[in-house]
Amino acid sequence: MEKIVSLCKRKGFIFQSSGIYGGINGCWDFGPLGVELKRNLKNDWWYNFVQTRDDMVGLDASIITHPQVWVASGHVENFHDMLVDCKDCRKRFRQDHLETERCPECGGELTEPKAFNSMLRTRLGVSDDSSVETYLRPETCQSIFVDFKEVYSSTRVRIPFGIAQIGKSFRNEVNPRNFIFRSREFEQMEIEFFCRLEEEDAWFERWQADIWKWYLDLGIKESGLRWYEHPKESLAHYSKRTVDVEYEFPFGWGELQGLANRGTFDLTAHGTHSGKDLSFFDAEKNERFVPTVIEPSAGADRTTLAVLCDAYDEEEVAGETRVVMRFVPKLAPIKAAILPLVKKDGLAEIAEELEKKLRRKFNTYYDQAGAIGRRYRRQDEIGTPYCVCVDFETKENGTVTVRDRDTMEQTRVPMDELADYIGTRVSFERD
C-alpha cells in the first residue's frame, strides 16, 4: 500500500488536503492525474448506467437540503456510530471496527460505548438567531427520493425506471483511514431503481449481474472481487436485503458498493413527513402504488483506489524494475504521449504539431526531455497506454511508431490515421 500512496503523491494522483498546513484528517485532493482518472471512472459509470439505458435518468441535487430530509430518512435518529475511548492512550475507536475488548493500539481498558451522530452539521443563514442548523448530506440518495415526484411528472419515465446521481457526501468518520478508502468527504455514485413489489427479486438479481460486469470492465481482476451478504439481523433500518461488492485491497477486503432492497421505506417516510403524496400512478393499469426501491450505491473514491491497487505492477526488464500502471485504456489519465526521438532536425516541431491535433480528441502529453527509454518509463509509471514516437522515418513517409504500454511492442502507423487508431482503443464507448 505504501508504494501506491507514494506513487500517487509523487506523480500527482492524490495529495493530502491542506498539506502545507499539516494536512486535515480524512480529506484528500485529487491532483492533475487523479482528477482525470476519477473523472474517467465517473463518466464510464454514467455512460454505462445512465446514457446507454432507456430506463434511467440523471439528477444533480444540492448538497445542503432541508433539515427535515434527515429526520424523515432516519439519519437524525439512527446515523450513529458507537464510540469507545481508550482510558490509557485516549485514542477513540468505532466499536464495530474492534476485534477485541481492549485498545488495539496500547491494549488499555476501553470506556463504555457512546453514540455519536456522524452527519456534518452546518448553519445556513447570516445571523445567529435566524440561521438554521442543517447537515451536509451523508449520502446522495435521499434527494432522489425527495425529488421522485418532480422527476416522474416532468419526464415520460414509467415504472420500472431509475434515477442516478453522482456527487459529494460527507461523514464525520471517527477514524478516517486506509488512504482514500475511508474519508470524511467523498463521492458517491448512486441509483434508486423504482419497480413493482412483485418484481423486486428479479431486479435485484439483474442489478447484481450489471454491477459485477461493470467492475470487470474496469479491468479489475475477478479473483480480487467477492460478494458479501449482510445477515438479516444486522441489516440497516431501511433494508430488506443488502449485499456488498468487496475488493481485496492490500489492507484486506473492503466494501466498494452496496446493493440494497430499500422496499418502500424512503418514499413512505418522506410522504409522511412532508405531507405530500409520493406514490406513483400507473395510467395504463389505472393503479396507484408506492414503488419498491432497489439501490446500487457505489463510492467513486473507493473504486478509484481499487483501480489504482489493481493496476499497479512491477516487472524486471533488462535488469531494471519497470513500474507500470496497467489501467484499462478508457480509464488512463493520459491516452497518448507524443515524443520526438530527438529535439533536432525538425522532429520536435512535427511532434508538437501532432500533439496539438490529437489533444482535441483525447488527453495527450508532450515530452522531449531525456533519453527515449526514460521517457517511455515515465509514461509506464502513470499508465499511459500509447507512446507515439516521431523519428527520422516520419520525415520520409509520414508514419510514427506507436508503443503499447503492456507488450512494449511498436507498430508503425501513418500520422493521419493516428487519431482513429488510438481513439477507438481508448474510448469507453461500446457498440
The correct pick among 182, 335, 403, 405 for binding ligand ATP (CB under 6 A) is 182
Q: Minimum CB separation from ligand ATP for residue 78, in Å?
A: 12
DSSP code per residue over 201-263: HHHHHHHHHHHHHHHHHTT--GGGEEEEEPPGGG--TT-SEEEEEEEEETTEEEEEEEEEEEE
The one segment of 99-107, 152-160, 180-188, 376-384 that binds ligand ATP by CB under 6 A: 180-188
Using CA of residue 256, residue 262, residue 265, residue 269, what is the dihedral sign?
positive
Asked if residue 182 lies in contact with residue 75, where contact means CB atoms within 8 angstroms, the answer is no
Does the protein bind ligand ATP through residue 173 (CB under 6 A)? yes
Establish if 298 lies at the interface with ligand ATP (CB under 6 A): yes
- Which of 48, 165, 188, 394: binder of ligand ATP (CB under 6 A)? 188
Segment holding 8, helix H or strand E: helix 2-11
Cβ 43 to ligand ATP shortest distance, Å: 18
- Give the interface size with ligand ATP as a residue count (CB under 6 A): 16
Output the smallest distance, CB 170 to ligand ATP, in A: 9
Residue 122 corresponds to which amino acid?
T
Give the binding range for ligand ATP (CB under 6 A) out of 49-57, 295-303, 392-400, 418-426: 295-303
- Contact between 28 and ligand ATP (CB under 6 A)? no
Q: Among 270, 302, 375, 403, indicate the residue that binds ligand ATP (CB under 6 A).
A: 302
SS (H, E, C) 311-359: HEEEEEECCEEEEEECCCCCCCCCCEEEEECCCCCCHHHHHHHHHHHHC
| 63-71, 84-92, 211-219, 298-306 -> range binding ligand ATP (CB under 6 A) | 298-306
The answer to whether the peptide bond before residue 160 is cis (omega within 30 degrees of 0) is yes
Q: Which is nearer to ligand ATP, 176 or 340 (CB)?
A: 176
Residue of 431, 384, 428, 424 whose CA lies nearest to 404: 384
Residue 181 CB, nearest approach to ligand ATP (Å): 6
CB nearer to ligand ATP: give 108 or 224. 224
Task: Pick out residues in 230-269 that bind ligand ATP (CB under 6 A).
Answer: 255-258
Q: How far apart are CA 356 and CA 361, in angstroms?
A: 10
Interface pick for ligand ATP out of 134, 143, 183, 304 (rule CB under 6 A): 183
The set of residues, in sequence order, having a beta carbon less than 8 Å from that of 82 and lying 6+ positions away, is: 94, 95, 96, 113, 114, 115, 116
Residue 253 CB, nearest approach to ligand ATP (Å):
11
SS3 category, 39: helix
Residue number, 297 or 394, with CB nearest to ligand ATP: 297
* Cα 37 from Cα 33, distance rounded (Å): 6
Residues forming the site for ligand ATP (CB under 6 A): 139, 171, 173, 182-183, 186, 188, 255-258, 297-299, 301-302
